[in-house]
Every structure is written in C-alpha cells, then in structure tokens.
Chains A and B, each alone.
Chain A
Amino acid sequence: MMISSPWRADFPAIAALQRQDQTYLDNAATTQKPQALLDALTHYYANGAANVHRAQHLPGAHATQAFEDSRGKVAQWLNAGADGQIIFTHGATSALNLLAYGLEHQFNPGDEIVISALEHHANLLPWQQLALRRDLELIVLPLDADGLIDLDAAASLIGPRTRLLAVSQLSNVLGAWQPLPALLAMAKAHDALTVVDGAQGVVHGRHDVQALGCDFYVCSSHKLYGPDGLGVLFGRNEALRQLRHWQFGGEMVQNADYQHASFRPAPLGFEAGTPPIASVIGLGATLDYLSGLDQDAVNAHEAALHAYLLQGLLARKGLRLLGKPQVALASFVVEGVHNSDVAHLLTEQGIAVRAGHHCAMPLLKSLGLPGAIRVSLALYNDSDDLERFFTALDQALELLR
C-alpha cells in the first residue's frame, strides 16, 4: 500500500534532505517549514524590518500590524475567542517558566502541584524547582499499562491541597492522547489552576482551548511547522490576572521611575524586550498555510501513516513498543540490542530518528530503559520514508545480531 503526501512539495527542505540521502523522521523534535513561511520571512526582511509597539513611523506600523495579525491567527487556530489572550514567548519552555514564576506567589508551603509521570522536562523542571523554592509537594500521577495517566490514581491524588495541575496533552515519548477532560474536571473541582502542555498535541488535529477549558495552554511554533525561538501561551482572562510579571524590560512597562514602575497587563506586560518579530510573522504565514489544508485529509493521512509505522514495527522480531501509541510517533526498543547501536547504524544509513531519553528521563527510568528509538511523523512524510526506515532498521539489526 502506497501512502503519498499531497503536501510534500510544499516543504522545500524535504527535497533538499532527500538529495543528501536523508530521510527525516524526527518531527516531534522539530519540523520542516512550508514555502509560505520562507516567503513571509523573506518578505519581512526584504521590505523593511522594524520594532513593534514602539515607533510611530510607517515601517514600525507595518511590522506591528503584521505581528498583531499573527496573534489573531494564533487565537483563531486555538479558538481562544473572547475567553483569553495569546502571549508570545521565546518557546514552550519559556512559556512554562513564565507560569512557574508568574504564579509563584499563589503558593504556600505544603500546597501541591500535580504533574504526570510522562512529562517532558519542560513541564517537569519548572514545577519541580518552584516546589523546591516554595516548599511545595510535587505530586506525580502514575501511568497505566497503555501509557495513559491513570484516572483512578489521579482521583485520589488530586485533592483539596492541589493548587495547580500541569499535564501534557500528547506524550512526546508514548504518542498517546491523555484523558484531559477527566483530569481537568478533577482539578477544577478543587479550584486548582490547570496548565496543558500542548507542544506535541497542537501539531495533530485542531484543538479548542475553550472546549478544553484549561486555564493555560502552551505550545511551540517550531513543532507546528513554524519558525523557532517562539512559543505560545494562551491564558484565560481570569487566570491571566493571577500572573505576576516576571521578566522586566522594554515595552512591558506602563510608567517607570528610577525607584518603581507599573506594568502593562497581558499580553504585552509579559512580552518584555523585543519579541521574535519575524518568527511571529512567520508563524502567522504557517497558520494561513495550514488553515488552507483539508484538515480531514491531513488527519486521515497521519492516521494511515501511523498505522503503517506500527504495523511495520510490530512485524519485526524482538521489537517492543513503549506504551500504545495512537498518533504521530512510536518509540521502541529491541530485545538484546542497545538503542544507541541501532541509532548509530540508522544514522549511517541516512535515517534521521531520535534515540535516547527524549527529554523525559524520569519516564524512561520508570520504564526501566536507558533509552529508546523514536520515529515521529509529519504531514509531509509518506510510506516511502517509512520503507527506507524499515530497510535500514533491518540492515542495522542484522549487523547487530
């Protein structure tokens, strides 16, 4: 069965990588970019860069207009509506750190922060360090055998001391959608704040932050076919009012004296210093491009490709999947073979996949694994990419066994 991607040619880097004999299957780390984004960056830099929200001059007005148009496009992509605002940060990591510092004053010693066992370091370490600073309890929700957050355990662990729940929508290692509606309901029943790490989830399908009902939703641009150096933080209006300012500098201030200052509300009050203007404009172009695609066709393509990947992996002897991946990616180990050796030999054959702990060291440790190989898909991948991977994997395993 052939699965071809009608969008492959929209991403010029895929052809360039192919000319270098590289098959790119590390899309959960970062994605290739559509031509529409390259055009937008070129247009911005070739037609007059300017800083935003500062100058009265025409180039400044154009840049500000394009920058704010992008904010609107992101809000629309996430269906933020009038419920909340979009803050631009320097990455998803930066957005989560903003929350961990901006909400710090809300916590008292003994309060509990709840995360899950599968969190990426970006949604673990900011909370872990906050807990250490404020003498809080960090509660880690366990997983069931399929790699989903265990709801029975969650029901007993999320309680009256819970002040904040921060969980991933889609695991970057296990590729499984997490039961967010049930988890968010438990947190809300105890008036806890809710943070969803959508870094992986936002890339697959469309998500509606109003329907989800979380207080904060975090994602990164570069995993969503956008430029790097840019993260997105959606916050519900009431939740945003609880945030204290955390980074200080240009254009986040209302009025400054030598000894004190007052600051702007969200979003600008949380965008200190010159933001990544070109990246914001570029993300807008990427979202225009993505909005023009038939989302049902993209979903169907990703599902077919993922099924093809799982089928091929499970056909290999001694290969074990981590959890029960549902979409986008699959991580695996091979019995009796070190993942670093497999990775080495796949690299030799021009297969770009990821090996190791995937920035989720505690998760890998809890699975008793030193690491795993992860194959992750994007809308431009096709079955030929996967066939090249399978051939290379067979070659590698033959050499190693």
Chain B
Amino acid sequence: MNLPAEALSALQTFQAATGWEQRARLLMQWGDRLPALNEAYKIDANRVLGCESQVWLIGDLQDSHWQFAASSDARLIRGLVALLLVRVNGLSAQELQQVDLPEWFNQLGLSRQLSPSRSNGLNAVLQRMRELADR
C-alpha cells in the first residue's frame, strides 16, 4: 500500500529522530499542525472515552474516502492523533479496514504509546476510529 505523501514525510522525520526529547518535540510540532476542530464538534457525542485528556474524533466518508478530524486539549496526544490522521485520511473504506495502525506507530518508533496500560488514549482513539468505520 502506498503511503500518502504526508505520512511518508512523518515516517522519514520520526525514523531520523534520536532520543525521547526529539520525538517529543516532533510530536508537539505535528500536534500544532493539526487543523483546528470546529468548536461545534467538541460535544460529548464526539468525545473519545478512556483518555486522560479530552479527545474528540469525527469522521465521514466523502466520495467513498474517509476524512477524519480530531482535537485534544493535551499536546502530545494531539501529535499522536495527527500522525494517525495523516495515515488514514483519504483511504477508502476497504483500505481503512486493512491498514495496520499499531504497525504504523511501531514504524514511527512510538509503539510504546499503544501499550495496554497507557491511559493517554491512543488505544481509545483507534478503537473509536474502528467503530466509526464499522457504522
């Protein structure tokens, strides 16, 4: 599966990162670049439960391609969510079913963010995305 251009750029940047500090800075930069979510979408129905911070995720199919948007009040989770969205936005329903998201974060050197004990919410975001995709 070909990576979207932005995802490729994320992959190259994160794979070149050395150390936790640089990865944290990058995560915050990616988080800052995440397009702002319209306040009207920041409602309970769009809240991802199971995060220490507030995370909202919406998504719908446009011309049979997925477009997700998200936001969080915490910076690092916002970065993680931004990295998720660059990987999945624009995929067809079938492509979204097939994409291995844990492997994506593994390639980025961020697999620890998906460990089961993590309450940062990335797992919950992935779960929510699957629910939206299965509707």
**Interface, chain A (partner B; CB < 8 A):** 338-341, 343-345, 348-349, 355-356, 370-371, 395, 399-400
Q: Do A345 and B53 touch across chains, with their CB atoms under 8 A apart?
A: no
Q: Do A340 and B74 touch across chains, with their CB atoms under 8 A apart?
A: yes
Q: Do A371 and B20 touch across chains, with their CB atoms under 8 A apart?
A: no
Residues from chain A with a CB closer than 8 A to the CB of B75 are 338, 341, 400
B18 to chain A, nearest CB (A): 13
* B29-84 contacts to A (CB < 8 Å): 51-54, 73-77
Q: Which residue of A lies closest to B54 (CB)?
A: A370
Q: Which residue of B lies closest to A350 (CB)?
A: B20
What are 23 contact pairs spanning A and B, CB under 8 A? A338-B53, A339-B52, A340-B53, A340-B74, A340-B76, A340-B77, A341-B74, A341-B75, A341-B76, A343-B52, A343-B120, A344-B24, A344-B74, A345-B20, A345-B24, A355-B119, A356-B119, A370-B53, A399-B21, A399-B24, A399-B28, A400-B28, A400-B75
Q: Do A340 and B21 touch across chains, with their CB atoms under 8 A apart?
A: no
Known A-B contacts A340-B120, A341-B76; A355 and B21 likewise in contact (beta carbons under 8 Å): no
A384 to chain B, nearest CB (A): 21
What number of B residues sit within 8 Å (CB to CB) of A?
17
Q: Which residue of A lies closest to B31 (CB)?
A: A341
Q: Which residue of A lies closest to B23 (CB)?
A: A348
Q: Which residue of B lies closest to A395 (CB)?
A: B21
Interface check B130, CB cutoff 8 A: no
A348 to chain B, nearest CB (A): 4
> CA–CA, A219 to B22, complex, Å?
44
B70 to chain A, nearest CB (A): 15
Which 5 residue pairs of A and B lie closest in terms of their CB atoms, listed nearest first? A338-B74, A348-B20, A340-B74, A340-B53, A340-B52
A32 to chain B, nearest CB (A): 17
Q: Do A344 and B28 touch across chains, with their CB atoms under 8 A apart?
A: no
Residues from chain A with a CB closer than 8 A to the CB of B28 are 399-400
> CA–CA, A356 to B53, complex, Å?
9
Known: A343-B120, A370-B54. 6 other contacts (CB 8 A): A340-B52, A343-B52, A356-B52, A370-B52, A370-B53, A399-B21
Residues from chain B with a CB closer than 8 A to the CB of A371 are 52
B86 to chain A, nearest CB (A): 20
A335 to chain B, nearest CB (A): 14
Known A-B contacts A340-B52, A341-B76, A348-B20; A399 and B119 likewise in contact (beta carbons under 8 Å): no
Residues from chain A with a CB closer than 8 A to the CB of B120 are 340, 343-344
Q: Do A349 and B53 touch across chains, with their CB atoms under 8 A apart?
A: no
Q: Which residue of B lies closest to A339 (CB)?
A: B52
Residues from chain A with a CB closer than 8 A to the CB of B21 are 395, 399
Residues from chain B with a CB closer than 8 A to the CB of A339 are 52
